[in-house]
Amino acid sequence: MKDPAQPLRFSFPNVTGRVVSSTDDRFQGKVVLVNITGSWCPNCHDEAPFLEELYRNYHGLGLEIVALDFEPAEQLKSLSRVQAFIKRYGIEYTYLIAGEPSQLNEKIPQAENLNAWPTTFFVGRNGLVRSIHTGFTSRANGELDSRLKDSVRAEIAQLLAENVHVEKGGN
């Protein structure tokens, strides 16, 4: 992050055209995973079912997940491939259309050296990025895949356990 003391911001339309922003009430005081994805990305297909599992298991505890989808221009015209991706994996978390892959750094200007799909920003209850994970394994990676998923679950549990008031210095 160019300035780790600044919250990660986003504001993009969902598949129906409604703009959703990081400042919306539903994200305040929550742990948020902001996932850079695309329906054309093989590792994003590997990751989507895991993100949906995380959402189902931790949403009630204060986790939100936001996908920022980047698609080639021709796919942005109808969003049919994106809608098929969402349906295939039963995605219920927030799914936003951020632009074309070539616009990644322009659309997420706070990130440095952002050039990998998928990339996930782990945002604490105070809105600040706590860690960034790039890439994703597949089940074919066996033990490596299991360790990665266990690590992500542990990180989410730790972030969920933190009190937002402590994070802000006891205010």
Instruction: Give the residue extent of every domain in the chain.
Output: 30-165
Q: Does domain 30-165 have CATH number 3.40.30.10?
A: yes
Does residue 41 carry a pLDDT above 70?
A: yes
Over range 119-144, report the average pLDDT.
88
The model's pTM: 0.91
Question: Residue 109: CB partners within 8 Å, gap ≥ 6?
Answer: 2
Tokens of 13: 């339309």
Contact 127, 22 (CB under 8 A): yes
pLDDT of 56-93, one tens digit each?
999 999 999 999 999 999 999 999 999 999 999 999 99
Q: Phi and psi dihedrals of 31, rounded to 5? A: -85, 130
pLDDT of 85-115, one tens digit each?
999 999 999 999 999 999 999 999 999 989 9
Among the ranges given (43-57, 66-80, 152-166), the one the predictor scored with the smallest mean pLDDT? 152-166
